[in-house]
């Protein structure tokens, strides 16, 4: 058993310590908001926060998260920054197929926590690891700026 703190709750996970956080979330805890894309830290679909920093949960073992705080997309509707980002996402009609979007939102929230007025270059830099096959990048940029204005 491995104890993980996820969205403010300590949860027991019956999995090998080498199990990636992504699969502990999806398979052990039935938290399916975090997506599997590449499994190799190349696409960002699996992004969650570990002690507030965006990480690729597909390559991060649960052993390395013990004693730390994991935050997932499921917590964003009750989070001030997360809610502002999600509202902006809806307003700007960002999602197309939607598959990459929970990872996009998690990266955007991490950006806005550290940079309240991100410029285009800041956004491109922070979001560069999140791939969208539907090409929603311009809308993501606009939505992040809108969320920043809402939060100001």
Q: Which residues pair with 61 in a beta bridge?
A: 20
Instruction: Annotate 9-25 with DSSP letters as a single string.
Output: EEEEE-S-TTSBHHHII
- Tokens at 51, concatenated: 């002690």
Binding to ligand FES (CB under 6 A) within 56-85 occurs at: 56, 58
Provide, rounded to whole angstroms, the least separation between the CB of residue 75 and ligand FES: 19
* 43 lines the binding site for ligand FES (CB under 6 A): yes
The binder of ligand FES chosen from 48, 136, 143, 144 (CB under 6 A): 136
Pick the binder of ligand FES from 37, 54, 82, 118 (CB under 6 A): 37
Please state, in angstroms and rounded to a whole number, the distance separating the CA atoms of residues 144 and 131.
Answer: 16
The token pair that represents 46 in the structure block: 């699996």
Of residues 147, 150, 148, 149, the one with CA closest to residue 89: 147
Name the one range near ligand FES by CB under 6 A: 71-79, 82-90, 94-102, 109-117: 94-102
Pick the closer one to ligand FES by CB: 44 or 118.
44
Q: Cα dist. 55→6, 16, 31, 137, 145 in Å?
A: 14, 20, 17, 20, 22
Choice from 97, 124, 125, 128 touching ligand FES (CB under 6 A): 97
42 binds ligand FES (CB under 6 A): yes
Binding site for ligand FES (CB under 6 A): 36-39, 41-46, 56, 58, 95-101, 132-134, 136
């Amino acid at each position: 058993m491995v104890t993980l703190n996820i969205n403010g709750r300590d949860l027991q996970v019956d999995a090998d310590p080498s199990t990636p956080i992504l699969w502990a979330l999806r398979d052990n805890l039935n938290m399916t908001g975090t997506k599997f894309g590449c499994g190799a830290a190349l696409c960002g679909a699996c992004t969650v926060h570990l002690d507030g920093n965006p990480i690729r949960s597909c390559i991060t073992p649960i052993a390395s998260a013990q004693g730390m705080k994991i935050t997932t997309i499921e917590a964003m509707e009750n989070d001030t920054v997360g809610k502002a980002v999600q509202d902006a996402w809806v307003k700007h009609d960002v999602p197309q197929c939607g598959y990459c979007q929970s990872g996009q939102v998690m990266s955007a929230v991490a950006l806005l926590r550290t940079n309240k007025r991100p410029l285009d270059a800041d956004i491109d830099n922070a979001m560069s690891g999140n791939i969208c096959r539907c090409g929603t990048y311009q809308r993501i940029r606009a939505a992040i700026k809108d969320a920043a204005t809402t939060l100001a």
